[in-house]
Amino acid sequence: MASKKGDHMKVVDNRSGVGDPDQILGVVDTEKAEEFEKGPLSVLVECVKHELQVLINLRSNRKLLAKVKAFDRHFNMVLEDVKEMWIETPKSSQGRKAKPIHKDRYISKMFLRGDSVILVLKNPL
């Protein structure tokens, strides 16, 4: 969308949907917002609307328990109140198997790139 002001051309970028008050909260890809109401992405739409937690399995063999604030069709996500969980196996001497250690950390806000996502589960609680 362009508007003229004097001799200067002003270009307004509405691709993000920020200026649209009717836009579904949390859905970044505005051209495909209607498609998200049905199919597998409808689970994420529901989680955004009702502020439900999801469990996300990542390619790095880590898990994220978080609230989804926004997402797109590539599974890029803006997450809040994230608990990252993983298991580390320390190096042991003398070839014995070391006991695995469960670790976690808290992250207040995060952008997650969708190509690292394997699975997204809605928290049943």
Per DSSP, the residues of 31-99 read: GGTTGGGSSTTHHHHHHHHHT-EEEEEETTS-EEEEEEEEE-TT--EEEEEEEEEEEE----GGGPPPP
| CA gap 86, 51 in Å, rounded | 24
CA 111 – CA 70 distance, rounded (Å)? 9
To the nearest whole percent, how much of the chain has pLDDT over 90?
46
CATH architecture of 24-90+97-122: Roll (2.30)
Give the pLDDT confidence of 64-122 residue by residue, as tens digits.
999 999 998 899 999 999 999 999 988 877 777 788 999 999 999 999 999 999 999 99
Domain ranges of the chain: 24-90+97-122
CA pair distance 123, 13, nearest whole angstrom = 36
